[in-house]
């Protein structure tokens, strides 16, 4: 009786092997695991939104321009260099779209509601600044200060930061700044300030180059003899 059961089990086993396709392997208990997903922490979300906002002026270029097409590659690179985040451009784009949809849901009915966290404030900024097309491409919203400035001239990176800051509700500072300082991670605030400092540094470097050019022009004139001998002779003639 035992041999009969064993024969039945062996027959079932060989039937399973026959019905299994060549490219299909039998599942192993240890191999039945889902692929690891790329999880984003709240801090990483804040870093992503900060970098996207600080580079929003690149969206002023045409859709086929090199800067516009490399937008997410730049975001990915800055996240790596500034914050040590290993996220590729596809992960950055998909995560931003997910967060942006969240900002639409939370702000479309009450955009003036004061945010209660750093992430909520950044989401509100994105809601005011960006828009998703029917093809899920990120563009500047028509009401964005950047879009309004497109016809009046170029928009510097520092103006971008200033324009984004102007979107902050007036009651936000008086009502929410102190609780945010108590709750938010100080490192997050520092990293956000670094983005602004980098923009200012670029402008300072440009001014430094101009100062050097002016110095090179003025220095030879300062070293040139003032003609003191002729000046003394002229004085002697007057008092002669």
Q: Provide the residue ranges of all domains of the chain, joining segments of one domain with +.
A: 42-213
Please measure the distance between the N-terminal and C-terminal CA atoms of the chain and give it in whole angstroms.
Answer: 146
Nearest alpha-carbon partner for 98 in 59, 68, 126: 126
Nearest to 114, CA basis, from 168, 151, 152, 67: 168
Whole-structure pTM over 0.75, yes or no? no
72 or 146, which is more confident? Answer: 72
Write the CA distances from 217 to 204, 212, 223, 225, integer angstroms: 20, 9, 11, 16
**pLDDT for the residue 177:** 36
pLDDT reported for residue 44: 95
Q: How far apart are CA 122 and CA 177, in angstroms?
A: 14
What pLDDT does 25 receive?
A: 45
Q: Which is more confident, 200 or 49?
A: 49
> Are the CB atoms for 191 and 82 separated by under 8 Å?
yes
Binned at pLDDT 50, 70 and 90, residue 39 comes out as: confident
| Residue 23 exposure: Cα atoms within 13 Å on the Cβ side | 0
What confidence score (pLDDT) does residue 71 get?
94
Are 129 and 164 a contacting pair, CB within 8 Å?
yes
Strand partners, 139: 131
Return the pLDDT at 37: 60
Give residue 132's pLDDT.
86
Q: Which of 126, 239, 228, 114 is nearest to 173 (CA)?
A: 114
> Looking at residue 163, what is its pLDDT?
46
DSSP-assigned letter for residue 138? E
Half-sphere exposure of 79 (CA within 13 A, CB side): 26
Question: What is the C-alpha separation between 25 and 20, in angstroms, rounded?
Answer: 8
């Amino acid at each position: 009786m035992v041999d009969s059961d064993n024969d039945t089990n062996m027959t079932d086993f060989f039937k399973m092997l026959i019905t299994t396709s060549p490219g299909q392997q039998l599942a192993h208990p240890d191999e039945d695991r889902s692929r690891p997903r790329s999880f984003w922490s709240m801090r990483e979300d804040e870093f992503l939104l900060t970098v996207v906002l600080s580079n929003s002026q690149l969206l002023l270029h045409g859709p086929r321009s090199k800067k516009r097409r490399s937008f997410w590659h730049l975001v990915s690179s800055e996240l790596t260099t500034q914050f040590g985040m290993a996220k590729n451009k596809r992960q950055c784009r998909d995560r931003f779209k997910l967060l942006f949809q969240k900002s639409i849901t939370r702000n479309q009915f009450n955009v003036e509601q004061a945010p209660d966290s750093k992430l909520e404030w950044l989401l509100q900024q994105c809601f005011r600044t960006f828009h998703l097309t029917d093809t899920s491409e990120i563009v500047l919203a028509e009401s964005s200060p950047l879009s309004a400035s497109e016809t009046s001239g170029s928009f510097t990176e520092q103006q971008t930061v200033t324009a984004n800051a102007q979107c902050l509700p007036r009651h936000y500072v008086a009502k929410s700044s102190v609780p945010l300082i108590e709750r938010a991670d100080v490192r997050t605030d520092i990293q956000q300030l670094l983005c602004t400092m980098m923009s200012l540094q670029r402008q300072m470097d440009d001014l430094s180059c101009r100062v050097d050019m002016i110095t090179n022009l003025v220095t030879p004139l300062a070293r040139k003899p003032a003609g003191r001998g002729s000046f003394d002779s002229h004085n002697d003639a007057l008092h002669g």
